[in-house]
Amino acid sequence: INLEGKSFELPTLEGTENEKAIDIAKLRDLTGYITFDPGFKNTGVTKSSITYLDGEDGILRYRGYSIEELADKASFLEVAYLLIHEELPTQAQLDAFSAEIQSYTQVNQDLLRISEGFPTSSHPMCTIAALVGAMSAFYSTDEAGDDEKSVLRLLAQLPVMATWSYKKSIGEGIVQPDTSADYCSTFLQMMFAKPGEKYTADAVVSKALNKLLILHADHEQNCSTSTVRLVGSSHANLYASISAGINALWGPLHGGANQEVIEMLEAIKADGGDTDKYIAMAKDKNSGFRLMGFGHRVYKNFDPRAKIIKKAADDVLTALGVNDPVLAIAARLEAAALSDEYFVARKLYPNVDFYSGIIYRALGIPTDMFTVMFAIGRLPGWIAQWKEMRANKEPIGRPRQIYTGATSRAFVEI
């Protein structure tokens, strides 16, 4: 077919289930869901073979593997390997990958000094974005093989630097990573152990965290990921590109939403906990109230990640015996929204941010760290997207603009 002077080949809708799904996605592109305009080479037309997402049917797959199966059976590092290296690792490859990451956990002490210079009140997203950006001042990014080292260093050190920020905010000394524990347990130990104390992470908490990180590991071309690709398209190094991604994720409309959800629930609790009142306000456009954590730009169905987290949240709350009035308010809001015609008609289901905030709270993660957890989870996805963009030799991003200002004006001297 010919559209606006360009010819496109119509998809055949034949072949395997996966090929058909890809054809359907292409057909959606052609029929206006997305303007597929490769001529402009901007972030809206990126091709990628990392994450497949179907917002109509609520399907999410990393490199062809279903998110449900990965969240159930894989470890976060297996998924990180899959995203970055395109294949699931063998046991030997996974052991080598984990050992390499562990060998990079010692962060440069000058970065620690920079971190200590931040005010105690600094939001941890601000601190980690700055520290990751600063990494390129300390490590080479110019020679062959440096990118692979940067990948390992980031995977090893982002969680370490994230816990520095938290420890500082509570006035406690930092805890060194325990390289004999798994990725999630090491993180929990650095967060919750007192310096010098022996600490063993709770297996329920560690397992739930593993699942959460997997569910956040990639989500095709969202705001932070396309930022990483766009910044990297100018050949800015991996640290600079990931730092930009962390800043993009911080915003309350993106990764910051899970923090907003808990703050909203706290505010509802402080106001007496009347969820019916807030459901009514959410339906009233003039109320000024926005129900955080409901609806998603691409999912016209339940976000598949939300389904998995909801179940995990229920299991964690039961296993840990958590009895938290804020979480009870969340449960009432969820039930009301799922049965209310207004929300059902608009497909405003609770999304991943709604449940992730709840589960992080149940795991004892402080609210300011919620978005940081998202960043730690998303890191392998950002890395994979950056590497794919560079491997494809994509040209520098140049988003398209439609000019809406004055056509031509004469300068008047004052």
What residues are labeled active site?
A: 296, 353
Quick one: which of 342, 340, 374 has its CA closest to 355?
374
* Binds ligand MLT (CB under 6 A): choice among 42, 102, 222, 241: 222
Do 206 and 364 contact (CB within 8 A), yes or no? no
In angstroms, how far is CA 312 from the centroid of its own chain? 18
Residue 219 as a binder of ligand MLT (CB under 6 A): the answer is yes
In the complex with ligand MLT, the residue whose CB is nearer, 297 or 400, is 297
Site residues (CB under 6 A) for ligand MLT, limited to 72-131: none
3-state per-residue secondary structure call for 368-406: HHHHHHHHHHHHHHHHHHHHHHHHCCCCCCCCCCCCCCC
- CB of residue 111 to ligand MLT, shortest distance in Å: 27
**By rule CB under 6 A, what string of x and - marks binding of each residue 176-215 to ligand MLT?**
----------------------------------------
Tell me the three-class secondary structure of 100-157, residue by residue.
Answer: HHHHCCCCCHHHHHHHHCCCCCCCHHHHHHHHHHHHHHHCCCCCCCHHHHHHHHHHHH
Minimum gap (Å) between residue 252 Cβ and ligand MLT: 12
61 belongs to the binding site for ligand MLT (CB under 6 A): no
Compute how many other C-beta atoms are within 10 angstroms of the C-beta atom of residue 96: 13
Nearer CB in complex with ligand MLT: 157/222 = 222
Is 247 a binding residue for ligand MLT by CB under 6 A? The answer is no
Smallest gap from residue 325 Cβ to ligand MLT (A): 27
CB 125 within 8 A of CB 246: yes
> Among residues 124 and 381, whose Cβ is nearest to ligand MLT?
381
- The one among 73, 194, 290, 297 contacting ligand MLT by CB under 6 A: 297
Q: Which residue has the tokens 């592109």?
A: 29
SS (H, E, C) 302-364: CCHHHHHHHHHHHHHHHHHCCCCHHHHHHHHHHHHHHHCHHHHHCCCCECHHHHHHHHHHHCC
For residue 375, the minimal CB distance to ligand MLT (Å) is 11
CB 8, min distance to ligand MLT, A? 26
Question: CB neighbours of 154 closer than 8 A, spacing ≥ 6?
Answer: 132, 135, 238, 239, 242, 379, 383
CB of 297 to ligand MLT, least distance (A): 5
**Contact residues for ligand MLT, defined by CB under 6 A:** 219, 222, 254, 297, 352
